[in-house]
Chain A
Amino acid sequence: MRDIHEHTAGEDLIIKTSVRLMVPFIQVFGLYVIVHGHYSPGGGFQGGVILGASFILLALAFGMKTSQEYMTVGVNAVLNNLGPAIFIGVGVLCTLFGGLFLDYSALDKLIPLGPVEWRSFGIFLIEIGVGVAVMSIMVLLYWNLSSGGSMDEGL
């Protein structure tokens, strides 16, 4: 596995610099895809994958340790669970306010925005949940698959 990193210094530098430059843009783009899923192609899943890909890119360019400085294993674990929890939580919340499961319009009783607006906002909420889950899981998958489960050194 080590030989992959034995590139010439110049090549390595170019890759690292460009990745360093690209990653913030990719992340912003990912967020945009999640947030703008209502109006354009995209949504939680696609945005989540893009966000995850940015971390994967970091791991590819700088090694796994570096990517784990941006997102530690512990944070990743919390995000893993947080994503689905947001989704299911929103669903449960709807039932607590007297509606059926995932009936976002019931949340109108929580903050009166109007049932239809709440549907739109509810979709937004769950898209965030999906995004968080997908992002963290994609990173987790990459960490594990590329390190054979030890999650310390990558390719």
Chain B
Amino acid sequence: MKNLALLATLVTGALLLYGTKDFPAWGDPQDPASTYLSPYYIENAVEQTHVPNIVTAVLGDYRGYDTMFETVVIYCAGMAVLSVLWRKKEE
């Protein structure tokens, strides 16, 4: 069992490592992740939302829909824990 798990882990890891072959170098300012969407946020967020913390701006507004579900996730966790651990009051 443990060997199987180890094998699965190694295979997964090897795949992931192999996948990094095509990546741009780490921290390269020219990689697509830094040149496609993020400049828009950095340059326009303050102008469009008056929030200097760009993360807050994106979190609260551009991707507010995600954040709404984030809140719902944590709400769900609370309710799930409550219902899972629920006991009759007499006990």
Instruction: Check if A and B associate.
Output: yes
What is the predominant secondary structure among interface residues of chain B facing chain A?
A: helix
Interface string of B32-44 (1 = CB under 8 A from A): 0000000000000
Q: Is the pair B75, A123 in contact by a Cβ cutoff of 8 Å?
A: no
Specify which of B68, B79, B86 is in contact with A87 (CB 8 Å cutoff): B68
Q: Give complex CA distance A127, B68 in Å.
A: 10
Q: Is the pair B75, A80 in contact by a Cβ cutoff of 8 Å?
A: yes
Interface string of B50-62 (1 = CB under 8 A from A): 1111011101110
Residue of A nearest to B65 (CB): A102
Q: In angstroms, how far is the closest chain B Cβ from the Cβ of A78?
A: 13
Q: Which residues of A contact B75 (CB under 8 A)?
A: 80-81, 83-84, 133, 137
Q: Is the pair B65, A116 in contact by a Cβ cutoff of 8 Å?
A: no
Q: Which residues of B contact A81 (CB under 8 A)?
A: 75
Q: Does B14 contact A (CB under 8 A)?
A: no
Chain A-chain B contacts (Cβ-Cβ < 8 Å), number: 101
What is the predominant secondary structure among interface residues of chain A facing chain B?
A: helix
Q: Is the pair A37, B85 in contact by a Cβ cutoff of 8 Å?
A: no
Q: Is the pair B60, A122 in contact by a Cβ cutoff of 8 Å?
A: yes
Q: Is the pair B49, A144 in contact by a Cβ cutoff of 8 Å?
A: no
Interface string of A104-115 (1 = CB under 8 A from B): 100000000000
Q: Does A16 contact B (CB under 8 A)?
A: no
Q: Is the pair A123, B48 in contact by a Cβ cutoff of 8 Å?
A: no
Q: Is the pair B71, A116 in contact by a Cβ cutoff of 8 Å?
A: no
Q: Does A71 contact B (CB under 8 A)?
A: no
Q: Which residues of B contact A (CB under 8 A)?
A: 47-53, 55-57, 59-61, 64-65, 67-68, 70-72, 74-75, 77-79, 81-82, 84-87, 91
